Amino acid sequence: MLVTLTIVRYKKRYIPFAILAMALHHLPFWFNPNITFYKLLGCGKNGTFDKNPDWQQWGIMAVYSPLTNINTNLSIQQLYGGFISRWLTLFNCETCTFFLEPTEGHGKWDGKEPFGKLPKQTDYNGPVAVLTRATIRLSQLSAFWKNVAGVAVQLSGTKGFVASIGIGEMPYIKQATFSIWQNKESMKNFAYQMKDHKEVIAKTRKENWYSEDMFVRFKPLKVTGSIRGTNPLEGIQ
């Protein structure tokens, strides 16, 4: 199965059109028979769960039919259609597209399993991309935001960490982090051995913070383009 995540960065003067795109860009996806699931996403400023939106940066995630051949040489036009391609060109957007293959995971997104039934563990230990997303219960918003800030600060200094992007469908409530690691071992050391992160995981379960959550690992196949002039997978591709 092929999954793509495209990060789109607008110039400041085009921010109103970036917001407008969140409405208009649904149309091409509704009529694309090759795409089985998609999300138009906002981005946070600090690379992980974030209350502060980055109004210049947005995301598109798409899941393609299992019958679609995995092809990492597809252009934005081939992936999302001519309308979106022309829009991004018209507003001189910087784009970065991750081509991904889901390998492991659990949970649901809007009541669906968009990446299919995945095993919880495999033997793969190469470079890994991780999507962690949750819908936070309104009654638990204060507890969530009080606890995640400290973990986010420690993420960038972790051994094996490459890059991360905060994405989400709704500020404060529907949040996700897309992170990239040199290998699965590094990611697991952060997730399950770093004291603060272990404590947060325990609290999410004990206090029932989420009404829905999902955790998925991907094999990063290729990345094209850049974010702020940098290829996030430079050095590990």
Cβ-contact 61, 45 below 8 angstroms: no
Name the band, by pLDDT with cuts 50, 70 and 90, for residue 195.
low
Q: 3-state DSSP call for residue 109?
A: strand
Q: Has residue 235 been placed in a domain? A: no
The average pLDDT across 24-37 equals 94
Six token digits for residue 136: 């936070």
- 143 pLDDT exceeds 80? yes
Number of domains in the chain: 1
Q: Has residue 49 been placed in a domain? A: yes
Q: What residue numbers bound the domain in which 40 lies?
A: 3-225
C-alpha angle 4-156-153 in degrees, rounded to nearest 5: 115
- 152 pLDDT exceeds 70? no
- 232 pLDDT exceeds 60? yes
Q: What pLDDT does residue 153 have?
A: 63
Q: Has residue 232 been placed in a domain? A: no
Q: Has residue 230 been placed in a domain? A: no
Distances (CA, A) of 197 to 147, 151, 193, 236: 9, 6, 8, 25
Q: Which residue has the higher pLDDT, 234 or 71?
A: 71
Q: 3-state DSSP call for residue 84?
A: helix
Q: Has residue 91 been placed in a domain? A: yes
Q: Has residue 237 been placed in a domain? A: no
Give me the phi and psi of 16, to 5 degrees please: -60, -35
Task: Kindly report the CATH number assigned to the domain that includes residue 113.
Answer: 3.30.70.100
Q: Has residue 191 been placed in a domain? A: yes
- For residue range 60-83, what is the model confidence (pLDDT) as tens digits? 999 998 877 788 899 999 999 999
Q: Has residue 205 been placed in a domain? A: yes
Mean pLDDT for all residues in the chain: 88
Indicate yes or no: pTM above 0.85.
yes
